[in-house]
């Protein structure tokens, strides 16, 4: 009996050069262009998916087009011409009249002279773009163009093209079809277990790849996409879960003493009660710290939700068991803010005596309570103080060390580092985070709590921070007064000063009532390219104009550390009424007396950044306001500003942000695998993120090294690679 050939795996396709495909070899001049597009192997080729489909059963006629609506039409070029426009500098304007036999459409391109060569009269093409009207004629400005040639069929896949290398959608489609034909005899290996295929009613991989590239209906595309999206998400989740479980198995943790009195004393001395969310989160962390494995937890909380109290509770758990704690912040301003706030929270708190504590420490031989010692280490710490601090750390005389990346320098050695808190984790590089974890004593890995004040949608957190356990502070402390947000529109051609008048009147009224305000600008100094205000120009204008007579301060990233701290100190102490700043104040600046936040050119900021800036006010009992000042905003900017006016819930805004921007910025938090999420979208495929994660845990918990699933294990290594695996482990 003839043995059937073994199905071909993705790993084998990755070892085959695209030049193994005869149709690619026939156009050898285009191979360098393919490489530039990231396609060098047959696997790269078959996972280059269509960006959209032309459903010829639903194409629109030019006569049915509506102004303001995006549309796709198939039309033939009747005439095309190029001319130079007047003005400085002159531009190249290409205009083409196209027709589908039922009407004419004007197509225009700016500074794309090559379009005249691409679209000579008689060329049939697909034009996709927004329909406008000019001088009574329908037109599209700079639409996406796909050449049709003699392509037939009801559903036509359209791929990204390379004008530079003259690679058309039909080139790629033809090469993919040839590659799939070459695989037909053996078929494609199926990595998913039968149980998973059955549970979700998935088609097999061979059918999925043919369905995405060579569909006979849009239903077939939907089924194919569903399967291939799951494959991509499962690979990411498997990498994360494998690393998470390996860390729990391999790393030697510290079993902390969670029965001590120190944390309880801290909570009793707080001038406010803990929220339910804080209590729940502290209990989750406590359970981690009592266990044998190192904690690796993300603490998500909206601005003002009380993350600092939770973090300090974790650090004090280390101290009450005879260990030390460290908190690393991304900037000196934030580190100094944490130091000031935490020192105040812990003022006069004493560490209960521990039997036999402190051999070789300042407190050796004593069985009495001692004061808690908190220190600060940044680049501003003098060399002499650094030496003293290093000595005290080595001998265990410092309980909590707060600082910037200076904490990870080789000269900084702890006697017994037990808990590490990393604030605003995304601002640190992988190596910086790993270096702090490696400062544990005797091979023990310190417990790590990473904090972020940027709320992340649930499905995105599962993908960006999927190797961490997640705690969410979703409840605001009592006594917080909601912030009122207003959007001040300054339409083009209107009097800017007059439009902004209510803003500055409000600032003056708040200052007269004894309160303070922030004014935030996007740039430090004037830029000819961007018509935005600079902090320096705004400071001078307000100081001599709208806010004349008030005490103004200026803060931006190019100032020296000493000047920044001096300015912030004056604002904290009330010596300044208004702080004009760049986004250097985005995170962590906490002045309860500040009740007004004015953001100029607010349309140039993202939702998360605006929400962070707004969170600098509303930190006391007084009613607070946020004014978003923006001139002519784009539709996306309008959506962002409208969302901020409507909601102060950071998690709700994060979902809006994901819908508006997609996941690109979120996925940038992760070090990309080479083929990371080509098809899947955290926005559109939320349900599949959760399902893929559940399947990943099932598979790994039953089979820790995926020995029973070699194809899946090979694909995780292939697509995410060693670098990604290291990143996931270190982060």
DSSP E strands: which ranges in 119-162? 124-134, 137-141, 144-147, 155-158
If we measure between CA atoms, which residue out of 570, 610, 584, 568 comes closest to residue 303? 610
Task: Give the integer Cα–Cα distance in Å for 7 and 190.
Answer: 8
pTM: 0.71
Task: Give the integer Cα–Cα distance in Å for 303 and 455.
Answer: 9
* Structure token pair of residue 614: 């707004």
Query: What letter would DSSP give residue 616?
Result: T
Task: Give the integer Cα–Cα distance in Å for 300 and 258.
Answer: 23
Task: Give the integer Cα–Cα distance in Å for 32 and 466.
Answer: 37
pLDDT at 524: 59
Biggest CA pair distance of the chain:
98
CATH assignment of 483-647? 3.40.50.300
DSSP 3-state of 174: helix
Q: Which residues pair with 376 in a beta bridge?
A: 402
pLDDT at 431: 63
* Structure token pair of residue 551: 């005490």
pLDDT at 143: 87
Task: Give the integer Cα–Cα distance in Å for 114 and 387.
Answer: 65
Burial code (b: 16+ CB inside 10 Å, e: under 16) for 94-107 equals bbbbbebeeeebbb
pLDDT at 512: 96
Task: Give the integer Cα–Cα distance in Å for 415 and 365.
Answer: 17
- According to CATH, the superfamily of the domain at 57-152 is Nucleic acid-binding proteins (2.40.50.140)
Which residue positions in the chain have pLDDT lower than 50?
A: 358-366, 528, 531, 665-666, 668-675, 725, 727-731
What residues does each domain of the chain span?
1-51+155-189, 57-152, 262-290+305-452, 483-647
Cα torsion angle, 109, 113, 116, 118, sign: negative
Taking 3-state DSSP, the helix, strand and coil percentages for the chain, each rounded to the nearest 5, stand at 40, 20, 40
Question: Where is 400: in which H helix or E strand?
Answer: strand 400-403
* Contact in structure between 320 and 264 (CB atoms under 8 Å): no
* Structure token pair of residue 215: 């569909």
pLDDT, tens digit (0-9, with 9 covering 90-100), for 453-509: 778 887 788 887 787 888 988 887 776 777 999 999 876 656 677 888 999 999 999
Task: Give the integer Cα–Cα distance in Å for 417 and 393.
Answer: 10
Task: Give the integer Cα–Cα distance in Å for 55 and 74.
Answer: 11
| DSSP per position, 1-60 | -PPPPPPBPHHHHHTSBGGGSHHHHTTGGGHHHHHHTT--BHHHHHT---SEEEETTSPP
Query: What letter would DSSP give residue 403?
Result: E
If we measure between CA atoms, which residue out of 254, 238, 672, 246 comes closest to residue 430? 672
* Structure token pair of residue 542: 């307000």
Helix axes 332-345, 561-573, angle to 10 degrees: 40
Same fold, 57-152 and 262-290+305-452: no
Task: Give the integer Cα–Cα distance in Å for 364 and 366.
Answer: 6
Task: Give the integer Cα–Cα distance in Å for 583 and 586.
Answer: 5
Residue 229 burial (C-beta neighbours within 10 Å; 0-12, 13-18, 19+): buried
Q: How far is CA 626 from CA 118, 146, 582, 629, in A?
A: 51, 46, 16, 10
pLDDT at 165: 78
**CATH architecture entry for 262-290+305-452:** 3-Layer(aba) Sandwich (3.40)
Q: Cα-flanking dihedrals φ and ψ of residue 210, to 5°?
A: -70, -40
């Amino acid at each position: 009996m003839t043995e059937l050939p073994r199905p071909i795996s993705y790993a084998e396709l990755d070892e085959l050069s695209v030049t193994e495909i005869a149709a690619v070899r026939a156009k050898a001049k285009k191979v360098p262009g393919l490489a530039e597009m990231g396609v060098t192997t047959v696997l790269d080729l078959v996972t280059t998916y269509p960006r959209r489909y032309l459903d010829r059963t639903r194409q629109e006629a030019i006569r049915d087009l509506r102004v303001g609506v995006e549309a796709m039409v198939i039309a033939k070029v009747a005439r095309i011409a190029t001319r130079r426009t007047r003005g400085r500098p002159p531009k190249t304007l290409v205009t083409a009249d196209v027709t589908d036999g039922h009407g004419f459409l004007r197509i225009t391109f700016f500074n794309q002279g090559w379009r005249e060569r691409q679209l000579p009269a008689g060329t049939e093409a697909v034009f996709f773009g927004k329909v406008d009207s000019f001088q009574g004629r329908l037109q599209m400005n700079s639409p996406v163009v796909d050449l049709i040639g003699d392509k037939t069929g009801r559903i036509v896949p359209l791929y990204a093209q390379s004008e530079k290398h003259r690679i058309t959608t039909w080139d790629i489609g033809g090469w993919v079809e040839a590659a799939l034909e070459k695989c037909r005899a053996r078929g494609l290996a199926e990595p998913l277990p039968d149980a998973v295929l059955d549970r979700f009613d998935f088609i097999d991989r061979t059918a999925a790849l043919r369905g995405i590239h060579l569909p006979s209906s849009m239903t077939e595309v939907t089924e194919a996409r569903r399967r291939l999206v799951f494959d991509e998400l499962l690979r990411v989740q498997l990498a994360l879960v494998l690393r998470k479980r390996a860390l729990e198995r391999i790393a030697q943790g510290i079993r902390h003493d969670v029965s001590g009195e120190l944390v309880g004393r801290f909570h009793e001395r707080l001038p406010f009660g803990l929220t339910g969310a804080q209590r729940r989160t502290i209990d989750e962390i406590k359970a981690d710290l009592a266990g044998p494995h190192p904690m690796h937890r993300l603490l998500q909380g909206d601005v003002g939700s009380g993350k600092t109290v939770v973090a300090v509770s974790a650090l004090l758990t280390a101290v009450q068991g005879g260990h030390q704690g460290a908190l690393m912040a991304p900037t000196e301003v934030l580190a100094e803010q944490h130091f000031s706030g935490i020192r105040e929270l812990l003022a006069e708190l004493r560490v209960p005596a521990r039997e036999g504590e402190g051999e070789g420490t300042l407190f050796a031989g004593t069985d009495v309570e001692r004061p808690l010692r908190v220190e600060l280490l940044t680049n501003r710490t003098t060399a002499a103080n650094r030496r003293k601090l290093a000595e005290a750390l080595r001998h265990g005389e410092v309980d909590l060390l707060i600082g910037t990346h200076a904490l990870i320098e080789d000269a900084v050695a702890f006697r017994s580092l037990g808990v590490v808190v990393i604030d605003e984790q995304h601002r640190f590089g992988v190596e910086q985070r790993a270096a702090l974890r490696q400062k544990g004593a005797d091979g023990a890995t310190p417990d790590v709590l990473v904090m972020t004040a940027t709320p992340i949608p649930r499905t995105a957190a599962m993908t960006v921070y999927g190797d961490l356990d997640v705690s969410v502070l979703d409840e605001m402390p009592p006594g917080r007064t909601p912030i009122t947000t207003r959007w001040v529109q300054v339409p083009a051609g209107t009097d800017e000063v007059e439009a902004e008048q209510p803003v500055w009147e409000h600032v003056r009224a708040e200052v007269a009532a004894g309160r303070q305000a922030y004014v935030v600008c996007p740039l430090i100094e004037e830029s000819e390219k961007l018509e935005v205000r600079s902090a320096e120009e705004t400071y001078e204008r307000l100081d001599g104009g709208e806010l004349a007579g008030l005490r103004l301060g200026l803060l931006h990233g190019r100032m020296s550390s000493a000047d920044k701290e001096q300015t912030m100190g004056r604002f904290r102490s009330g010596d300044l009424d208004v702080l004009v700043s760049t986004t250097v104040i985005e995170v962590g600046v906490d002045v309860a007396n500040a009740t007004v936040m004015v953001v100029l050119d607010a349309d140039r900021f993202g939702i998360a950044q605006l929400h962070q800036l707004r969170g600098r006010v509303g930190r006391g009992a007084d009613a607070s306001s946020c004014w978003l000042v923006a001139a002519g905003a784009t539709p996306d900017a309008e959506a962002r500003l409208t969302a901020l006016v409507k909601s102060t819930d950071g998690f709700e805004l994060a979902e809006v942000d994901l819908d508006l921007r997609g996941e690109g910025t979120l996925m940038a938090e992760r070090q990309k695998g080479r083929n990371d999420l080509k098809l899947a979208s955290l926005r559109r495929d939320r349900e599949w993120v959760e399902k893929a994660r559940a399947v990943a845990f099932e598979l790994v918990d039953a089979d820790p090294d995926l020995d029973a699933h070699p194809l899946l294990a090979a694909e995780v290594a292939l697509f995410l690679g060693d670098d990604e695996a290291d990143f996931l482990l270190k982060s």
